[in-house]
Amino acid sequence: MRKTQLTAVFFFLLTLFFLGQQQVSFAQSVYNLNLLSEPAEGGVLQGAGSYEAGETIAVEATAQDGFKFINWTNEAGDVVSTEASFNYVMPANDTTFVAHFVCTPAWTEVANLQYNMQVVGLVRLDQVVVTDSNIVVGAFVGDECRGIASPIPAFGGLLFMTVSSNVASGELVTLKIWNPDFCESCTAVQAFTFENQLQLGTLDEPFIIECLNEITLDLNFNQSYTWFSINVVQYDMSPNALLADLQPCYNDRIIGQHAFAVYSGTEWVGSLTELSPHEMYRMRLCSAQSISLTSNQAPNETINLLSGSTWLGYRPNECMSVNAALANLTPTPEYNDRILGQNAFALYNGSQWIGSLTQLCPGKGYIMKLTNNSELTYPLTRKSSENNLSEIEPTHLLKGVNPRGDFAFGMMVVAQLSMDKKMFSSATIYAYIGNDLCGMAAADAEEDNLIFLHLGADKNLDELVHFKVNFDNDKTQLDILEKINFQAAGAVGDLKTPLMLHLNTE
């Protein structure tokens, strides 16, 4: 009897053991297939889930707009498939696949044009020939894409591009290089004139295509206001990305001509969502700060300037004289057209720009006041001893006395003293709003002793400006009779009819 009971218990336990083994076996027969996208926004993936070993799964990657699929890799980085869609037999283990995408330019080549020419080229980045087939070169006439090509690895990176036109010759062709590592393009140094059936470059001597050099822009901000611009480009041009190294205070501001942003305490918010190299901005900060931006130099694109006032950015990577920087302004400026900086200005006298603003510099912002709708293309130059001018601070006769450099607004005054011309060379004019010095300048002996006086203020209009003069560095300042009302970006006097200033003899 006891033996029978032991036998029954043994078989019961054996049954439980086999049932447990079957449950464990069943539990281990389902495994996870994980699918990841690189970058995360590159595409939409299908097929992830839990599957039994041996089950066939349809895995699919669909690229988002602005991206293209490259390949699937496993956790070890080995390529699993170069097809966006493939069937996979689930193994008896968890598995992870990564779908790789690259960003692509939004360029559409104009089709069915009458004439064409051929380019055999090589792309160089940082002086190194690139063979990556995901690099894209586009040929442009204005904003129209006239040809697209990529390096071919099997041919050492050579690219073969057909450039088309409906004009047999004469169109200027510029080139852009799309870098998928940064999802941005740069303008190539090289450009050429279209000519039907021209063959540019050969297999032995290919046409070299390379970006403008990567540059570093140093931005120095005042406490209070700074007029600034940027001459670099990157994938994210938002204030939060470009100015991430700043430490602004709550309610600090970036003011553009048509939009602005306010610092919320954690980020910039408002209608100004991107900064453009075309434009000048006014930064108001709670403290003086400096940052450096290193990226591709902004493309040297033509800037459209409307009649009236345009807030203008400065593209080149070196200071240039005003006349050199604005040499390509078309049509030719009208007499008395003006350019205003934060602390100086210049006006056009019919043949050249003259005034207290003698050069334009990277990082600075300006206001152009033009009679006509115009176009400006800055000269495409590289650094040289001739062009690499240092930024000149204005000097004045009365040492230790200078107006603030952080005014929000500026105004232009062309004046002349009504007195014996022999005294002009020793005279300095000072402008005040109340007791605050808002501008100063000396007579320009080379321009008929005119005085180019830049006024600054923190309010944009209706503050009363009065003037004083001193001679021979004498600290005694004499009153001037004339007074004017301040007006932001306003102008009083010109080359032919300057504001005449008279000593108050009473």
What pLDDT digit, counting tens, does each position of 6-26 carry?
A: 555 455 555 555 555 444 444
Q: How many residues does the chain have?
A: 506
Q: Are residues 256 and 179 in the same domain?
A: no
What pLDDT digit, counting tens, does each position of 464-503 carry?
A: 999 998 887 666 788 999 999 999 888 899 988 999 999 8
Closest among 296, 139, 274 to 207, alpha carbons compared = 139
Q: How many domains does the chain have?
A: 5
Answer yes or no: are the C-beta atoms of 30 and 52 closer than 8 Å: yes
Q: Which of 297, 325, 353 is the last residue of a domain?
A: 297
Instruction: Quickly tell me which residue has 């932001």 as its tokens.
Output: 488
What pLDDT digit, counting tens, does each position of 270-305 carry?
A: 999 999 999 999 999 999 999 999 887 887 789 999
Percent of the chain with pLDDT over 70: 88
172 part of a folded domain:
yes
All residues at 6 or more sequence positions from 71 whose CB lies less than 8 Å from its CB, including other chains: 79, 80, 81, 82, 99, 100
Query: 3-class SS at 11?
Result: helix
Q: Which domain holds residue 335?
A: 303-376
Closest among 343, 311, 319, 340 to 226, alpha carbons compared = 343
15 part of a folded domain:
no
Token pair belonging to 485: 């009302």
Cis omega before residue 333 (within 30°)? Answer: no
List the beta bridge partners of residue 81: 72
Closest among 426, 430, 451, 427 to 440, alpha carbons compared = 430
- Paired sense of beta strands 56-63 and 136-141, if any: unpaired
The enclosing H or E element of 302 equals none
Q: Which of 297, 320, 345 is the last residue of a domain?
A: 297
List the beta bridge partners of residue 485: 464
Q: Would residue 10 be called left, alpha or beta, if left means φ above 0 and alpha means ψ between -120 and 50 degrees?
A: alpha
Query: 3-class SS at 490?
Result: coil
Would you give the distance in Å from CA 429 to the centre of its chain?
39
Q: What confidence category does residue 428 fall into, taking pLDDT thresholds of 50, 70 and 90?
A: confident
Torsion of CA 281, 287, 290, 291, to 10 degrees: -70
Token pair belonging to 213: 């050099």
What single-letter DSSP state applies at residue 444?
A: B
18 part of a folded domain:
no
User: Rounded CA gap, 183 and 135, in Å?
Assistant: 10
User: Rounded CA gap, 32 and 490, in Å?
Assistant: 70
20 part of a folded domain:
no
User: Rounded CA gap, 303 and 250, in Å?
Assistant: 34
How large is the average pLDDT for residues 52-59? Answer: 94
Closest among 486, 458, 490, 455 to 309, alpha carbons compared = 490
Token pair belonging to 400: 């230790």
Q: What confidence category does residue 48 fall into, taking pLDDT thresholds of 50, 70 and 90?
A: very high
The CATH number of whichever domain residue 60 belongs to comes to 2.60.40
Q: What confidence category does residue 189 fall into, taking pLDDT thresholds of 50, 70 and 90?
A: confident
pLDDT score, position 97: 96
Answer yes or no: are the C-beta atoms of 122 and 157 closer than 8 Å: yes
421 part of a folded domain:
yes
339 part of a folded domain:
yes
Residue type, 230: I
Q: Which of 264, 297, 330 is the last residue of a domain?
A: 297
pLDDT score, position 10: 53
23 part of a folded domain:
no
Instruction: Say yes or no to pLDDT of 131 above 70.
Output: yes
Highest mean pLDDT among 231-245, 334-348, 397-411: 334-348
Residue 77 buriedness (CB in 10 A; 0-12 / 13-18 / 19+): exposed
What pLDDT digit, counting tens, does each position of 246-256 carry?
A: 999 999 999 99
